[in-house]
Structure 1
Amino acid sequence: MNKKITLRLGRPEDAQHIAGMIIMAMTEECCRHFYGEHHSIEDFHRLMTQLAASPGTQYSYENTICAIDDKGRIVGISVSYDGARLEELRQPFIDSAIREFGIDHSSMSPETQSGELYLDSLAVLPEYRGMGIAKLLLKATAEKAYKMGALPIGLLVDESNTQAEQLYYKMGFRHINNNKWGGHNMKHLQLTSEK
């Protein structure tokens, strides 16, 4: 890695950047599933920024590890939380989507479960990819899982995203089962967190 990258926890003032990177991780097509045909990606970004700035949401700065370059710019994120808290942390998103977009996502299947640290979003800016930042963020997430009682790390990867899937397998993740999220077929992968 030729640029100096440091990691730190997210802050409320990072919300706009965190939201943009979560959207990048989700893909615009998945986001459209959540905001519908009568709204825009900008509307969705506003909603996600509000959620990222708030404590007690799945997309909160509280759940975010930020990768920072030598100019202080957020160039990557890892958003993770205790899977046992999914219902509670997801409710603000469901309430906001109903209020802002008139779409009720309360019947969405759970993307995680009790007994795992769920890696909700992992993203690195395109110009910073291939520098080991995703691996750095994954290692920091594994450390978080270990501190929480050596919980395994779980995540969903889109079946069509073979590049990300291969990265996860190289990092030691294994396929657990299949799921559907954001209108896409997903694979649920898991990594045992060990010291």
Structure 2
Amino acid sequence: MIKIENAQKWQANVIARLIMEAMNHECCQWFAGPNHNLKEFHQLMTKLVECEDSQYSYRNTLVAITDKNEIAGICVSYDGARLKELRQAFIEGALADFGRDFSDMNDETAAGELYIDSLCVDKAFRAKGIAKQLLEATIEKGRKLNLPTGLLVDICNPQAERLYHRVGFVYVDDNQWGGHKMKHLQNQLP
């Protein structure tokens, strides 16, 4: 039995690990740079999850909880209109911890949608419908905000794209993020 609920600050360590898995470790290492490691990047991500005003904040995260109180998966989403203000904590953290300036990073979303930044189900809990549950709960969050729910999917990840289409996402346009070609998908309001 899985429950979808709002994340709590004390869950930050596990949430950060799952966000990094969603980003993929190669991307995380790129952000950390050649003089830092994934453990250091995890420390930064944990701080960002603990923040109240970060794009990765626990306040923007839904967690899938098992009957044994384990985090089976996460979905981080926020109003696209707030991207620039929410991203500032990442920009400042990367500069302070790694000496890397990402202030000129492209925007992956914009006003007018609830943006799914990160979705990940722990390997031990995959193929049980948890990602679908997290997506449906996030789409409902968007409806309550009167926003369609959007996301980017890497064109090299057709399995994820099929899941998004099954849940009702439709193709909007092509995009690029982190040097990867992406498709922008949206679950429209009824």
Which category of TM-score, normalised to the shorter sequence, fits these structures? over 0.9
Q: Which shows bigger deviation, 164-173 or 52-61?
A: 164-173
- What is the identity, as a one-letter code, of the residue corresponding to 1:57? S
Matched, 1:92 2:61: no
Cα pair 2:9 2:49 within 8 Å, conserved = yes
- Kindly indicate whether the alpha-carbon contact (under 8 Å) linking 1:30 and 1:184 is maintained by their aligned counterparts in 2: no
Higher mean C-alpha deviation, range 178-187 or range 153-162: 178-187
Matched residue, 1:34:
31
- Say whether the 8 Å CA contact 1:152–1:192 is kept in structure 2: yes
Aligned counterparts of 2:95 and 2:69: Cα–Cα separation in 1: 36
Is 2:14 aligned against 1:7? no
Report deviation, 1:61: 0.3
The match for 1:152 is: 148
Residue matched to 2:47: 50
- 2:76 maps to 79
Gaps of 5+ in 1: none
Partner residue, 2:173: 177
Amino acid of the structure 2 residue aligned with 1:81: Y
Aligned partner of residue 62 in structure 2, secondary structure: strand
Equivalent position of 1:141 in the other structure = 138
State the one-letter code of the partner of 2:100. I
In the TM superposition, residue 120 of structure 1 has moved relative to its aligned partner by 0.5
Number of residue pairs matched by the alignment: 190
Matches within 5 A, 1:183-194: 183-194=179-190
The answer to whether the 8 Å contact 1:64/1:78 transfers is yes
**TM-score scaled to structure 2, two decimals?**
0.97
Asked if structure 1 preserves the Cα contact closer than 8 Å seen for 2:19 and 2:120, the reply is yes
CA distance in 2, matches of 1:156, 1:32: 20
Aligned to 1:68: 65
Give 3-state SS (helix, strand or coil) of 1:172's partner: coil
Query: What's the counterpart of residue 162 of structure 2?
Result: 166
The unaligned stretches of length 5 or more in structure 2 are none
Any idea what SS the aligned residue of 1:34 has?
A: helix
CA contact 1:75–1:124 (8 Å) conserved in 2: yes
Correspondent of 2:108 among 86, 107, 111: 111
Report if the CA contact (8 A) 2:136-2:167 is conserved. no
Instruction: Give how far 1:159 is off.
Output: 1.5
